Each structure stands twice: as C-alpha cells, then as structure tokens.
C-alpha cells in the first residue's frame, strides 16, 4: 500500500483493502485500549487507572507521566459505541502504521498526545488563575481513545489528502476534509461539556499532527522564525551598545568608501 498516491479510492471495511496482514503493533494498541477500558469497571483496578489518566495531579503532585499515558487508557461507557470506536481506530491505525513505520507511528502517538495534554493543562491552569478554581469538566474530551482517534484520523487525512472515504458508510468525502471535520466535532463536544481544556487539546492534536506530517515548508517554519528572532536580538544588542558607548557602526559600503578616499 502506498499511502502517498495522488488519488486512491477507499471504502469502509479496510482503507488499505480487504486483505493484508494486521500489524502486531496495531493489535497491541487495540488490546491496550480495550483492557484499560474494561479495567475501569472493576473496583480493584479503577483506582490504578486514575494514576494514568490526565488529571490535575500533573501539576499538583508532579504526575508528569500522565501526559504520555492518558491516550492509551480507554474511557467511556460500556456500550456499542466502544466497538465502533475500536473498529474505526483499527482502520486508521493500520494504514497510518504502514505509511509511517513502527518508530514514527509510536513517536507520533506519544509526542502529539503529550503535546495535546500540555495544551490542556496550560488552559486549565489559566482558567484556575482567572477564576480561582478548575471547571467541573477537566479534559473529559481528551481522555483515552478519543485522542488516539483524533491523531490517527488527522495523520491519515494529511498523508492521503486525495483518498476518498465513505463517511457514515454512504457519504463519499476526500480525506483532507477530515481535518476541519475533526475540529467541528471537537467544538460540538465542547458545546455539550464546556470542557475548554479538552477542546483546545483536541485542536492542538490535529494541528500538531498536520504540522508534523504536512508539507515540508511547515517543518522549516520554526527554524526560520528562530533565525529571525536571533537576527532581531542581535540588532537590538548592537543598537544598545551604540547608545551606551557612543559607537558608530560602520557598514561594509562605508569601509569601501573610506578605503577609496585614502591617499595612495
């Protein structure tokens, strides 16, 4: 499967086609999500899972590992929706894994998931600073397989912009439109939950994924910005030195002019 073909027609039931092997990494991912999802309904394991979800303990007690673990801890209610989520997770994860390879696949999930978690925590701390307390819902939109789905759908849409997916099994839509659709679904979730931290965390997950896998010029943007900042910093320092010490900066053109004026 070449995920970077300019046009590829895709149908629900396996984006890469009906056949082919299922990567062990994708199997492991599905098992982790299902096992952790099931464990939350048992008294003996529910408290342990809390240590790995994204909670205010990140800044209260320094539970920084939650930033990396929360996407892999399944959440939600025990109903048919979980089966649908795991099925969609399988479809997108399989193609993204084949496109990126094992190393980049896991790095994408962990790094982008952590980045989204950092954004959510920063927003929650800002809300706490402005209002004096945390909102009732903290990052509920961001927990568990929701973040994994957001990252993988964004990755598939970025790598396979012209691929056609049948949304809701009937509506054909190009994969690139899944990026704004994800933001729309996240906003609808915000309207019902008022979870600003979770909403902006999901937006960050979409943006970071597109930034990572998108056009090459996006990856060069941070370096260009950094070089411009360095240039402005040096200009400011030179201007400050000139004001303090009464120095006059001489440009190369001025030096050449002075050399021409000197007698032979």
Residue 253: pLDDT over 60? no
Per-chain mean pLDDT for the chain: 82
Q: What is the three-class DSSP state of 197?
A: helix
The segment with the largest mean pLDDT, out of 8-12, 160-164, 184-188, 212-216, is 184-188
Note the pLDDT tens digit of each residue in 205-235: 999 999 999 876 555 555 556 566 667 777 7
**pLDDT at residue 168, as a whole number:** 63
Residue 5: pLDDT over 60? no
Give ∠ CA 146-205-28 in degrees, rounded to 5. 50
Helices in 24-164 by DSSP H: which ranges?
24-39, 43-50, 57-60, 66-69, 80-100, 102-131, 145-159
Q: What is the three-class DSSP state of 150?
A: helix
- What's the average model confidence in pLDDT over 233-240? 73
Taking the C-alpha atoms of residue 161 and residue 149, their distance in angstroms, rounded to an integer, is 17
The torsion angles phi and psi of 105, rounded to 5 degrees, stand at: -60, -50
Taking the C-alpha atoms of residue 188 and residue 182, their distance in angstroms, rounded to an integer, is 10
- Please tell me the total number of residues recorded for the chain in this structure: 264
Taking the C-alpha atoms of residue 243 and residue 214, their distance in angstroms, rounded to an integer, is 45
Residue 254: pLDDT over 90? no
Four-residue CA torsion sign, 5, 10, 12, 14:
negative
Note the pLDDT tens digit of each residue in 191-210: 998 999 999 999 999 999 99
147 closest CA partner among 106, 177, 179, 116: 116
Cα 2 to chain centroid, rounded? 23
206 closest CA partner among 160, 163, 148, 123: 148
182 closest CA partner among 159, 199, 197, 196: 199
Indicate the pLDDT class of residue 45, thresholds 50, 70 and 90.
very high
Cα 229 to chain centroid, rounded? 25
Half-sphere exposure of residue 33, counting CA atoms within 13 Å on the CB side? 26
96 closest CA partner among 84, 108, 86: 108
Share of the chain above pLDDT 70, in %: 76
Enter the tokens of residue 252.
């190369």
The more confidently predicted of residues 17 and 85 is 85
Enter the tokens of residue 16.
């890469």
């Amino acid at each position: 499967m070449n995920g970077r073909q300019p046009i590829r027609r895709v149908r629900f039931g396996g984006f890469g086609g009906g056949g082919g092997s299922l990567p062990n990494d994708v199997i492991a991912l599905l098992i982790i999500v299902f096992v952790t999802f099931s464990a939350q309904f048992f008294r003996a394991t529910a408290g342990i899972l809390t240590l790995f979800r994204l909670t205010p303990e990140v800044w209260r007690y320094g539970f920084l590992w939650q930033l990396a673990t929360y996407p892999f801890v399944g959440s939600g209610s025990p109903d048919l929706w979980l089966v649908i989520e795991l099925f969609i997770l399988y479809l997108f994860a399989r193609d993204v894994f084949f496109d990126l390879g094992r190393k980049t696949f896991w790095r994408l999930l962990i790094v982008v998931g952590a980045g989204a978690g950092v954004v959510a925590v920063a927003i929650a701390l800002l809300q706490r600073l402005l209002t004096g307390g945390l909102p009732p819902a903290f990052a509920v939109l961001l927990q568990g397989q929701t973040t994994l789905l957001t990252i993988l759908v964004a990755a598939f849409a970025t790598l396979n912009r012209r691929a056609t997916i049948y949304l809701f099994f009937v509506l054909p839509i190009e994969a690139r439109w899944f990026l704004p659709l994800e933001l729309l679904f996240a906003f609808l979730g915000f309207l019902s939950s008022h979870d600003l931290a979770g909403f902006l965390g999901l937006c960050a997950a979409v943006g970071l994924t597109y930034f990572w896998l998108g056009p090459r010029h996006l990856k060069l943007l941070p370096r260009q910005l950094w070089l411009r900042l360095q240039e402005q910093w040096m200009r400011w320092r030179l201007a400050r030195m000139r004001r303090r010490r009464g120095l006059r900066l001489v440009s190369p053109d001025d030096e050449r002019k002075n050399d021409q004026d000197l007698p032979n």
